[in-house]
Amino acid sequence: MTSLAHFEAVAGSLKLPGKAVIDGERVPSASGKTFVNITPRNGRVLNHVAQCDAADVESAVRSARRAFEDGRWRKLHYRDKKRVLFKLAEIMEREAETLAVLESLDVGKPITNALQGDIPSAIRSLRYYAEALDKIYGEVGPEAPDRFSFAVHEPLGVIGAIVPWNFPLHMAMWKVAPALAMGNSIILKPAEQSPLTALKLGELALEAGLPPGVLNVLPGFGEEAGKALALHGDVDMIAFTGSGAVGKLLMQYSGQSNLKRVSLELGGKSPHIIFADCPDLDKAATEAAWGVFYNSGQVCTAGSRLLVQEPIADEFLARLLAVARKIVAGDPLEPATMSGAMASEEQMMTALRYIEIAKSEGGALTLGGRRVRADSGGFYVEPTIIDRVQPENTLAREEVFGPVLAVTRFKSADDAVRIANDTNYGLAAGLWTTNITLAHRAAREIRAGLVWINGWDSCDITMPFGGFKQSGFGRDRSLHALYKYSDFKSVSITL
Ligand code: NAD
């Protein structure tokens, strides 16, 4: 039953979620206002969604605080917490097709990616933290005759999770799952471009038995709902994924309010380095293409700077082009589509603007460069490759968050590392070589939170994820993310 007609029928039969989830209830915004949710698939209106503002933030924070203080989740036995989170994972599996269709409609991603990538990844993240929550141990202090001391991890309290639109449910789960596993209450603020799966998650969590108030979901605009949440004096932490500009604001809001903790997963301009002794040019070319064009380039770790060593540059580019030419934009609900729409008209215009800037600065347009499928009314951009980009050019320095690859040629390994590090960002990097010493040295010299050798994006929920420099701080994924949502308390008993 995997056909365009099938997924269109599913889409047509769905009741799209549009209400906030506060204190265990699905509610309209306090003001009664809604915003229009558009699908980038064809530019049409999907539904109207509660436009939450400071008044709704106030209700949600009160609800989350009440839940935290009375311990309805925090003090639950770890076996019972586990049961609820595993039940939620089962319900999400049952609803996987619905969640995938919602995600595909909301942000224009290929249904097959949502079904095989986003939704199962979100469920795996949830199970990972559910499995971890009864393995949180404290420490016992050094032996002393007159004293017994120990240290325990305690949940922080009320967590505001503000998330982006590129992998809406997947990114949300990287925060919601560890924060819940640690016993916190959460207010999830999805991006205004992609509220649907977050709202659905709020509903499904209630069905799974998560007590009311423990996971509230507030759709709305960043400058309204997001800002009010980040300025609120009774929120203990903001866990954020999004742009550097908003990351900087969140730190100001923290300073202006209650010094709440802030963790920031921001953007990147990740270098993908192909040394002349690359072990497998075809594999590297495939991964270099998908490493930047997957999800229409709207990936924070996108390998958007290809650095290729001069002796193999032409040959490598030929192989890269052969792969990239096959990545053709199509209807997101068509199962064969490998590349969908960009998430919004604004994002499409940003990508097109960067392509023009790159050309005007001397870049050689080698593939793509245009909007396609305009007659659908949707927002699609061709995979685009710009060769001969210099490290000082705009396309080498600013994040596009679209399907645009900057190619730069280099001479020596030292040049490659220098160019790779010549950026304000430091999220991810990849390199291909058969020289183990070079691989190891370069991996250690590159200032990035993730380095992949001979395989792009080759790790999962078990390994920490986050940036150096202006790509942010704090880590998602792995057990480090679990402890991020806790305080460490020392207790000493005088004997
Ligand atoms: P954005 O920063 O504009 O929005 C992200 C979230 O912040 C949204 O929920 C938005 O409503 C909210 N927001 C906006 N203004 C706010 C404010 N003043 N106060 C509080 N909240 C506010 O980013 P975007 O355009 O939605 O996403 C694209 C950016 O996110 C890219 O730069 C990308 O690199 C980055 N990103 C990073 C990662 C990562 O893990 N490092 C993952 C995905 C996306």
Reported as a pLDDT band with limits 50, 70 and 90, residue 121 is very high
Give the start-to-end residue ranges of the domains of the chain: 7-266+472-491, 271-460
Write the class of the CATH domain 7-266+472-491: alpha beta
The verdict on the CB of residue 401 being under 6 Å from ligand 1 is yes
Q: What is the predicted pLDDT for the residue at 1?
A: 55
Reported as a pLDDT band with limits 50, 70 and 90, residue 459 is confident
Mean pLDDT across the stretch 439-451?
Answer: 98
- Summarize pLDDT for 366-424 with one digit per residue, the tens: 999 999 999 999 999 999 999 999 999 999 999 999 999 999 999 999 999 999 999 99
State which ligand 1 atom lies nearest to the alpha carbon of 221: 11
pLDDT digits (tens, 9 = 90+) for 176-223: 999 999 999 999 999 999 999 999 999 999 999 999 999 999 999 999
Q: Return the pLDDT at 11.
A: 97
By alpha-carbon position, which residue is closest to atom 20 of ligand 1?
226
**Centroid of ligand 1 to alpha carbon of 97 (angstroms):** 26
Instruction: State in Å: Cα 164 to ligand 1 middle.
Output: 5
Which pLDDT does position 314 carry in this prediction?
98
**pLDDT tens, 221-256?**
999 999 999 999 999 999 999 999 999 999 999 999
Cβ-Cβ contacts under 8 Å for 251 (sequence gap 6 or more):
262, 264
- Give residue 161's pLDDT band: very low, low, confident or very high (50, 70, 90): very high
**Minimum CA distance residue for ligand 1 atom 42:** 300
Contact 133, 182 (CB under 8 A): yes
Whose C-alpha lies nearest to ligand 1, atom 40?
Answer: 265
pTM of this structure: 0.97
467 Cα nearest atom in ligand 1: 41
Q: What positions carry a catalytic annotation?
A: 265, 300
- Other Cβ atoms within 10 Å of 152 Cβ, number: 14
pLDDT of residue 2: 87
How confident is the model over 122-134, as a mean pLDDT? 98
Whether pLDDT at 120 is above 80: yes
State the pLDDT at residue 254.
98
Contact 239, 263 (CB under 8 A): yes
Indicate the DSSP class of residue 339: B
Predicted confidence at residue 418, as pLDDT, reads 98
pLDDT tens profile 323-352: 999 999 999 999 999 999 999 999 999 999
How many angstroms separate the CA atoms of 241 and 308, rounded? 30
* Mean confidence (pLDDT) of the chain: 98
Q: Could you tell me which of 444, 482, 442 has the C-alpha nearest to residue 464?
A: 482
227 in ligand 1 pocket by Cβ < 6 Å? yes
**Residue 283 Cα distances to 160, 243, 382, 462, 481, angstroms:** 41, 31, 22, 24, 32
CATH code, residues 271-460? 3.40.309.10
CA-CA-CA-CA torsion sign (419, 292, 295, 86): negative
State the distance from the centre of ligand 1 to the C-alpha of 153, rounded, in angstroms. Answer: 29
Q: Is the CB of 242 under 6 A from ligand 1?
A: yes
Q: What is the pLDDT of residues 35-75, one digit of tens each?
A: 999 999 999 999 999 999 999 999 999 999 999 999 999 99
- For residue 229, give both structure tokens: 């949440």
Tell me how far apart the alpha carbons of residues 338 and 354 are, in angstroms, rounded to a whole number: 23
Name residue 429's beta-bridge partners. 451
Give one DSSP letter per residue of 24-63, joined into a string. Answer: TEEE--TT--EEEEE-TTTS-EEEEEE---HHHHHHHHHH
Euclidean distance between CA atoms 174 and 246, whole angstroms = 19
Ligand 1, atom 34: closest residue by C-alpha: 267
